[in-house]
Chains A and B, each alone.
Chain A
């Protein structure tokens, strides 16, 4: 079943087109990566799929509904966004941040109830963040903070998780930690994942499908084995590469040619 759909989307701010004629379907339960060089429109596309930006052409739908007609609350109950890093200025604790994920299910002036606290405990267990639940976010490492933000997104009880370079500031171990959590949720709970990433090889390893953007249009789309070819990557990134395969999974691995 299609959860997110992009129908011939075009978008620009005041200048040239950032996205043009972009169409794809994201099926419920899939794990999709959006790849592409800087300025290829990845983050813009993610914002359109969350209704934060409105396409100039075409339309984006969630659950068959035009996202432009949905309230923020409607959207936030279905789709949760994981940003690159925590952007707050006040020293909330990890638990307080995760509780904020319950916001789309609460009235403006209200306090979280028993059920909200139960959900928060559950998602903090899933993301292994209970150990520092009462520490403030600025005392946590980048990897810990990122897991808290994933927990916050999970507390929204979303059907799809939208991630904007969730591992951008993390070392390889913490990157894999994050991807493993997402993969587990995807497999066991059927959570749909749509992640913008710069990490070609991690995307190849974890995603069922890859959307490869270039200059605002889709250059290639499909399973990693089809999309992650040396030719495609060279064409999109303008970098000579060699491709191999991952010893255990057989997924494509891309490395610079380094001549």
Chain B
């Protein structure tokens, strides 16, 4: 612990941000490569390298067409999407925690993911898939609706107490779950059968379109959020303090909330409601890199991605050849972590 905290005490400079980001990028790439080669089909890295390099070594085992297809059409898109979704949920957790001034805030716990899911499912029901950005757009509307409810209850500038946060989250989730079940029950749309998986979070639907949408909104949202990374440090001390330190708090908050909702919606539209990443990753990283958002945001981005790639690999391999929705894995890790955190906060 003393090693961790001495590490986080160094002043935050651009050099340090780059250094830590590169380090974590390496972690992300390592996890991704391991994930690419984990699974039922026996494909190993040397085989792929030999196959890709036109060395023409005698008698080497080349990839069969079906192995190629597993690797590049199934596993690779899935690893990429897991990386994008994990990064998205992790940074939106960071933003909600700073703005609600409660480290237990997370898009899943607050019901913002459920709001997105309602938007997306309603979109499918209404045939919005025919429109460009129809589903992500509806997911965004759902997320904004949930954010308005949560922040309406938190009030402007006040700190959201843990008990209020949890009660709000439970109620928002209960309401949106009911809406989803309602939509399922009145529809015999085949798409909706698929969408049931969303309620638990699932990455097996990864395709090019999902990746492009999720990637675009994630990077666009992150750009807006990161621009105000320093302001997040100050906004976490409350709206009055932010105003006193020269920050147009109201305007900045609206920009950040919109960006975080967009990022959450992009993740949910692609993969459903995967929980707890936005809680676990930022919490661990604050202990390691410190609470400054200029370094926390890129770190959460990369580690969130790496974590979900890892969790999805578990989801694919644990009960192979069957597989679990990845949300089961993150909830199995995340819910006990959350309870342990909650207990510590309540006892202090």
Residues of A in contact with B (beta carbons under 8 Å apart): 50-52, 71-77, 80-81, 83, 86-93, 95-96, 100-101, 103-104, 106, 108-112, 117, 134, 156
B103 CB to nearest chain A CB (Å): 6
Most-contacted residue by chain B among A90, A109, A111 (CB, 10 A): A90
Q: Is the CB of B227 within 8 A of A108?
A: yes
Q: Is B342 an interface residue (CB 8 A)?
A: no
- Interface residues of A: mostly helix, strand, loop or mixed? loop
What CA separation (Å) do A103 and B231 show in the bound complex? Answer: 8
Selected from A50, A89, A104, A106, the residue in CB contact (under 8 A) with B236 is A89
Q: Is A103 a contact partner of B234 (Cβ separation < 8 A)?
A: yes
Contact B294 A72 (CB under 8 A): no
Whether B246 contacts A89 by the Cβ 8 Å rule is: no
Contact between chains at B241 and A89 (CB < 8 Å): no
Residues of B within 8 A of A (CB): 9, 11-14, 98, 101-103, 159, 226-231, 233-234, 236-238, 240-241, 243-249, 286, 290-292, 294
Chain B residues in 8 Å Cβ range of A112: 11
Determine how close the nearest CB of chain A comes to the CB of B335; give it in whole angstroms.
Answer: 22
Name the CB-closest residue of B to A117.
B11
Chain A positions within 8 Å of B226 at CB level: 109
Contact B230 A108 (CB under 8 A): yes
Q: List residues of chain A with CB within 8 A of the CB of B290.
A: 92, 96
Q: Kindly state the separation between the CA atoms of A77 and B243 in the bound complex, as whole angstroms.
A: 12
Q: How far is A153 from B249 in the complex, measured between Cα atoms in Å?
A: 18
Interface centre among A75, A92, A103, A104 (most CB of B within 10 A): A103
Between A and B, 27 residue pairs with Cβ closer than 8 Å are A50-B243, A76-B244, A76-B246, A83-B240, A86-B237, A87-B237, A87-B241, A89-B103, A89-B159, A89-B236, A90-B98, A90-B236, A90-B286, A91-B291, A92-B291, A95-B11, A100-B233, A103-B234, A103-B246, A104-B245, A106-B230, A108-B230, A109-B228, A109-B229, A109-B230, A109-B294, A111-B12
Residues of chain B contacted by A73 (CB below 8 angstroms): 246
